[in-house]
């Protein structure tokens, strides 16, 4: 009888220990939103700083992915974000399908802004929101990678969507 009682107590103890282990392990997977947000903000700052290193780099439509001697808007975004572990497709239209939709009024640093600058119903431009109503982008021969005002600009007037991809 004591042997049977000992076995039952042992099984209950194992059950309690396993339950606590599962609960503890599960709580380790949950990270507070503030920690995640701080990490996102840090990554966004690094992406923006990296992008600024290419200020003045020439614009070339259809620039090859991965090169830094010239960019078009989407190759620039793809290259910079990839440096920080965010893999994006090559074209702006496909990039606009990634991440989480962001309302224009809720833009934060590091969000991607997608526009239809030739007003044909198709996304054809992407820029990086850097805060204070400004974007980091490349868009025309003779200008290259630059910082531009967003509010009231062609990119604002032809805004289609914004995405948080970080």
> Which residues are annotated as catalytic?
73, 125, 137
How many CB atoms neighbour CB 70 within 10 A? 19
The separation between CA 132 and the C-alpha centre of its own chain, rounded to angstroms, equals 18
- Determine the Cα–Cα distance for residues 118 and 139; give it in Å rounded to an integer: 13
- Determine the Cα–Cα distance for residues 101 and 44; give it in Å rounded to an integer: 16
Handedness of CA 11, 12, 16, 19 (dihedral sign): positive
């Amino acid at each position: 009888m004591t042997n049977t009682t000992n076995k039952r107590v042992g099984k209950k103890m194992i059950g309690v220990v396993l339950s606590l282990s599962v609960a503890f392990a599960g709580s380790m997977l949950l990270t507070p939103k503030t920690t995640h947000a701080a990490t996102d903000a840090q990554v966004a700052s690094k992406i923006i700083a990296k992008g600024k290193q290419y200020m003045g780099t020439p614009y070339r439509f259809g620039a090859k992915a991965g090169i830094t001697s010239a960019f078009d808007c989407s190759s620039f975004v793809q290259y910079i974000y990839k440096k920080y572990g965010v893999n994006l497709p090559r074209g702006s239209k496909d990039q606009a399908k990634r991440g989480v939709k962001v309302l224009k009024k809720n833009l934060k640093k590091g969000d991607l802004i997608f526009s239809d600058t030739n007003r044909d119903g198709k996304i054809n431009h992407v820029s990086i929101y850097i805060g204070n109503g400004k974007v980091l982008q490349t868009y025309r021969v003779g200008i290259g990678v630059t910082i531009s005002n967003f509010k009231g600009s062609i990119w604002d007037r032809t805004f289609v969507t914004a995405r948080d991809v970080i």
